[in-house]
Amino acid sequence: MALIGFHDLKDSALPSLWDEDYLKKVELEDGTTFDEMVRLAQTALSALNAEILGMPGYSQLFSVQDDAEVEYAVGVGNTFEEATEYGTPDPTRGKTTGHMLPIKPYDMALGWTMMSLRKARRAKLEADIRQMIVAGRALYQKALLTRFFTSTANKVGSTSSDVPFADAGSADANYVPPESPSGETFLYTHEHFLDTSDSGITSTTFDNSCLSVAVEHLQEHGYDGPYMAICSRTDIGSWAAVDGFKPPTWSGVNYQQSAVERAQFGDIRQYFGAVETDYGLINLWATPRLATQNFGVVPLGLPESERPLRMRIAPRIGFGINLVPGNWINAPALLVVAYAEFGIGVGNRVGGVAVDLGAGTWAAPTIS
């Protein structure tokens, strides 16, 4: 039968026996193979591993080693003697103590059936990998902040411990901080976990005084500024109201003779401002992972051997999160398994200070 006339929009309707939903699924099928997913996942994890080493804020806190132990000098009272013509000086020696670093295995898997992988849309598969990256980033961030803000020792092996910053001798009474370059000496009771029972720190009060007290605990060990304060993002408004606060200098803005003093950073995306104290300038870095009314301070620009925290890795595993080679293909189910082995301990027991503004007795904050 002949049909005479123009085609118009009504002729674009699908035949009645065609299933539009089914056709759309077929159209969107990507035909991705398992090998392609493995390559995509490893590329994403390699990028994450590079990111971990340079994460704003976090990268200033740690260095990496594959040894299980940390050894360091403790304070002793040796002095020079006045030389005499026939006298022989007494030999002196230094003293050290040390602790162990923890290490734990972590893994995560992505899984599909063979048929679902072939028929999946690319966006859904990329979302699977993306959530693994988000989880991996959180794993390292939480581990670093948890060790920094924890005042207790964790058992490593049967007889050793992973110790916190200087804690008044609770974890190791043998630890006495060495004499500072300026000649300040310390006792085993020296502590870097501060709360409202310490002079200059007032309950729930964000002020220049509490920052100065915290920074003085670094400066007295010879660590001069600038410094970085680890703040809760919830408390940004409170820190911005502190006496001596300097907002950042934003590029593209001509401030000319502004009466407001502003802080200049190499990368203003990292800090939301700075506070000028009696002991130097403190750059303020905020993270949503730290609970409100808590903060920590660290010196900036330390060599890796003196950074506050130490990340221990397994020599045969290497740094970061990587895919595990092995027979994970067990059709009809397919698995991509990512694995990491690391632990976070303290590397410099006077390289960081943690402050609790909400209690008269130090309590570790929630890291989320």
Q: What is the 3-state secondary structure (H, E, C) of 66-108?
A: CCCEEEEECCCCCCCCCCCCCCCCCCCCCCEEEEECCCEEEEE
What digits encode the pLDDT tens for the residues 209-225?
Answer: 999 999 999 999 999 88
Q: Dihedral (C-alpha) 127, 131, 133, 134: value to the nearest 10 degrees? A: 130
Res 4: pLDDT: 57
Q: Where are the domains of the chain?
A: 34-75+96-250+262-356
Res 8: pLDDT: 47
The DSSP bridge pattern shows strands 69-73 and 62-65 to be unpaired
Res 265: pLDDT: 60
Residue type, 298: V
The highest-confidence range among 16-20, 126-130, 232-236, by mean pLDDT, is 232-236
Residue type, 34: F
Res 330: pLDDT: 63
- Check pLDDT > 90 for residue 368: yes
What digits encode the pLDDT tens for the residues 222-267?
Answer: 998 899 999 999 999 999 999 999 888 766 565 666 666 666 665 5
The span from the CA of 60 to the CA of 296, in Å, is 13
What digits encode the pLDDT tens for the residues 313-325?
Answer: 999 999 999 998 7
Which one has a higher pLDDT value, 184 or 269? 184
Res 121: pLDDT: 77
Res 125: pLDDT: 84
Determine phi and psi for 263, rounding to 5 degrees: -90, 145
**Cα 263 to Cα 36, 105, 176, 228, distances in angstroms:** 47, 42, 36, 13
Residue type, 77: G
The span from the CA of 18 to the CA of 41, in Å, is 37
- Check pLDDT > 50 for residue 6: no
Angle among Cα 109, 114, 117 to the nearest 5 degrees reads 75
- Check pLDDT > 50 for residue 134: yes
The span from the CA of 209 to the CA of 192, in Å, is 16
Residue type, 175: Y
**What residues does 194 pair with on adjacent strands?**
355
What digits encode the pLDDT tens for the residues 50-106?
Answer: 999 999 999 999 999 999 999 999 987 788 889 999 998 888 888 899 999 999 999
The pLDDT mean for the chain works out to: 87
**Cα 106 to Cα 132, 135, 236, 270, 316, distances in angstroms:** 12, 11, 33, 29, 15
Helix or strand run (H / E) with residue 111: strand 104-113
Res 25: pLDDT: 56
The mean per-residue pLDDT over the stretch 299-311 comes to 94
- Check pLDDT > 60 for residue 9: no
Res 173: pLDDT: 87
| 34-75+96-250+262-356 to CATH, choices 3.90.1690, 3.40.5, 1.10.3470, 3.90.1720 | 3.90.1690
